[in-house]
């Protein structure tokens, strides 16, 4: 009734850009950009796949990803990707990390390729 038994901590990790970059070096890490396709096309982290979190087929598209691999998500500021990270965790992904501050705080180069 009052939520005493509910955990308020997210089931995913929020990482600083430095922690996020270090995590991406893990073998098998999957990087997902959850922004709109036009945002992705304007510049994204190298190696990212674009799966828009607000698209109707988001759940279907992420179902094709390997739930056992470490999965790193980001967006523009970290809000949409926190939402996506929560959805991935609920869907059974074992290790999900969200980039705090999104690409706005990312110190590295973005690519359009």
- What per-residue confidence (pLDDT) applies to 3? 44
Q: Give the domain extent around 71.
A: 13-105
The CATH number linked to 28 is 3.40.250.10
Q: Domain for residue 70, yes or no?
A: yes
Q: Domain for residue 79, yes or no?
A: yes
Q: Domain for residue 94, yes or no?
A: yes
Task: Summarize pLDDT for 15-68 with one digit per residue, the tens.
Answer: 999 999 999 999 999 999 999 999 999 999 999 999 999 999 999 999 999 999
Q: Domain for residue 90, yes or no?
A: yes
Catalytic residue among 15, 45, 75, 84: 75
Nearest to 26 by CA among 62, 65, 70: 70
Q: Which two tokens stand for residue 5?
A: 């038994």
Q: Domain for residue 3, yes or no?
A: no
Q: How far apart are CA 113 and CA 53, in angstroms?
A: 21
Q: Domain for residue 27, yes or no?
A: yes
Active site annotation includes 75: yes
**What global pTM score does this model have?**
0.90
Q: How far apart are CA 58 and CA 75, in angstroms?
A: 14
- Indicate the number of domains in the chain: 1
Q: How confident is the model at residue 9 (pLDDT cuts 50, 70, 90)?
A: low
């Amino acid at each position: 009734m009052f939520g005493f038994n509910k955990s308020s901590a997210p089931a995913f990790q929020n990482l600083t850009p430095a922690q996020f970059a270090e995590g991406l070096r893990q073998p098998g890490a999957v990087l997902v950009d959850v922004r709109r396709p036009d945002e992705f096309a304007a510049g994204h982290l190298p190696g990212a796949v674009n799966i828009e979190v607000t698209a109707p087929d988001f759940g279907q598209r992420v179902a094709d990803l390997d739930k056992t691999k470490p999965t790193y998500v980001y967006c523009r500021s970290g809000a949409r990707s926190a939402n996506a990270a929560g959805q991935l965790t609920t869907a059974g992904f074992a290790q999900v990390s969200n980039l705090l501050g999104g690409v706005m705080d990312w110190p590295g180069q973005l690519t359009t390729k």
